[in-house]
Amino acid sequence: MKKPSTELASSSRIQFKESNEDCSSIPSEDEEEIENELADVTFEELQKARSNGSHLVFQKPKEEKMSRRANKNRPMEASSKKPVPTFRDIVQAPKKVARDPRFESLCGTLDTEGFRKRYNFLFENELPAEKEALHKKLKKCKDPKIINEVEERISWIDKQLKSDTTKRADADILAKHKKKEREAAKQGKRPFYMKKSEIREQRLIEKYKELKASGKLEKFIEKKRRKNAAKDHKFMPYRRPGE
């Protein structure tokens, strides 16, 4: 029964010796810093700390040391405590600036008449020839997937040809109007600029005159009437089964 008492005594002595060694290991510079910090603390704060039993003295936050390089040829030392960001711009590459030629003065201005003259062969020769070849292919083909693709291509060609004819008609009307207004301006009159709606109206008038001269006006009006009736039929309500 005497053995455990001796062990406890020896353990307590060892702890006491370690605590003394820890106290003696504190350098004198740290003691001076603690004394300086305690000098700034008020008596009231010390009394509160003692009453709570904590005996804690709040140290002032130390100023962050500026990270400097030991040598100008060495890299900057970063702290391992700070987390590294996920995205870092290691090499700043030059940004690609996208330019739209429609709104850039460097690209010049678009000459619509010159563009139409240069690429006139597409609308007069290439697209009509492609349309005929697609019609021949459509007659021979039996695969529904290929038939669908060919029909979509033919509809696209029709739209392109139709838009080209309307643009040409609008350009001719505008050119005639500009020529007329130049002659009027020479006489001292104020120029009149046509709107898009007025150009469209003038185009329809000229088309009406052409159809009337060729004798196709009634056929055109009947086709237009059926097309409008089909559009109106979509919005008509269906009959109820009880009626």
Q: For every residue of the chain, which 3-state class applies, written as one string?
A: CHHHHHHHHHHHHHHHHHHHHHHHCCCHHHHHHHHHHHHHCCHHHHHHHHHHCCCCCCCCCCCCCCCCCCCCCCCCCCCCCCCCCCCCCCCCCCCCCCCCCCCCHHHCCCCHHHHHHHCHHHHHHHHHHHHHHHHHHHHHCCCHHHHHHHHHHHHHHHHHHHHHHHHHHHHHHHHHHHHHHHHHHHCCCCCCCCCHHHHHHHHHHHHHHHHHHHCCHHHHHHHHHHHHHHHHHHCCCCCCCCC
> Residues 217, 147: one domain?
no
Instruction: State yes or no: pLDDT of 166 exceeds 70.
Output: yes
| Structural domain of 32 | 11-52
pLDDT at 134: 93
Domain count, the chain: 3
pLDDT at 157: 94
d(CA 122, CA 129): 10
Q: Which two tokens stand for residue 142?
A: 């039996």
> Residues 205, 189: one domain?
no
> Residues 135, 175: one domain?
yes
pLDDT at 14: 40
What's the pLDDT tens digit per position in 47-66? Answer: 777 676 555 444 555 555 55
> Residues 200, 186: one domain?
no
- Answer whether residue 180 is part of any domain: yes
> Residues 150, 173: one domain?
yes
d(CA 11, CA 189): 119
- Answer whether residue 231 is part of any domain: yes
> Residues 165, 220: one domain?
no
Q: Which residue has the tokens 């838009």?
A: 163
- Answer whether residue 179 is part of any domain: yes
What's the pLDDT tens digit per position in 66-86? Answer: 567 778 888 887 778 877 777
> Residues 158, 207: one domain?
no
**Residue 18 CA, distance from chain mean position:** 67
> Residues 170, 188: one domain?
yes
- Answer whether residue 165 is part of any domain: yes
What's the pLDDT tens digit per position in 145-155? Answer: 999 999 999 99
pLDDT confidence band for 22 (50 / 70 / 90): very low
> Residues 224, 161: one domain?
no
- Give the mean model confidence (pLDDT) for residues 172-191: 88
Query: What pTM did the predictor assign?
Result: 0.48
